[in-house]
Amino acid sequence: MSQKALPPPAACIFDLDGTLVDSLRDIAEAANECLELLGIPPRRIADYRYLVGEGVPMLVQRLLGESHPHCVARCTELLRPAYRTRVLRHTRPYAGVPDLVGRLHARGVPLAVLSNKPHDMTVRIVRTFWPEAFAAVQGYVEERYRKPSPHHAREICAALGVDPAATWVIGDTPTDVATARALGGVAIGVTWGFRTRADLAAAGADRIVDRPDELG
């Protein structure tokens, strides 16, 4: 895939899980804890790479919708508090990401986070690792505004005073690419997260990068 020449970003809206931080183990262990409570065998941590990214209800639907549909509602109810107790147990920024965030912030590029993780946990993680770098942090609040809905991305652009068309939406999944498309912004795919270069290319990312230092 040829890499599209892009102008500097007016702002950067980052995804959280799989983009800024590696949270897969904490999510998987919390979900497996809920499965154990329901008498269902756990899944491998690697399996969760294709289960996460679109919020808790969708994660559980993908996890149990076909095999144990009667357990979906109860597992959804259990998972949020189970995860909340361990949200920062193993979760850490990816190598090179803190330096990237620091460079962009020092250059005066407005930064934001938009995640499908529940809002309170999104804020907790971002403010733990980056107390001041991100001007806006938005997590999942309502299903109708879950990415790829551009609703919150538009709100962020308005709050930052930037043109959506000049805003980079940076993430590791096709959902992030679709969010950028819906916003009318620039879709940047990163390969160090939970999905593959092929997934991002098929989704139509404007640029795909393998290392944080390729972004600035």
Single out the residue of 117, 120, 128, 112 nearest to residue 175, CA to CA.
117
User: Alpha carbon 163 to chain centroid distance?
Assistant: 22
- Cα separation, 93 vs 37, whole angstroms: 30
- Cα separation, 20 vs 94, whole angstroms: 6
Long-range CB pairs of 40-46 (<8 Å, 24+ gap) are 40/64, 40/67, 40/68, 40/71
Beta bridge partners, 170, equal 14, 188
Single out the residue of 124, 114, 109 nearest to residue 155, CA to CA.
114
- Tokens standing for residue 56: 């808790």
DSSP string for residues in 150-210: -HHHHHHHHHHT--GGGEEEEESSHHHHHHHHHHTSEEEEESSSSS-HHHHHHHT-SEEES
Catalytic residue check, 15: yes
Q: Are 22 and 91 in contact (CB under 8 A)?
A: yes
Question: What is the DSSP-derived secondary structure letter of residue 43?
Answer: -
Residues annotated catalytic, as ranges = 15
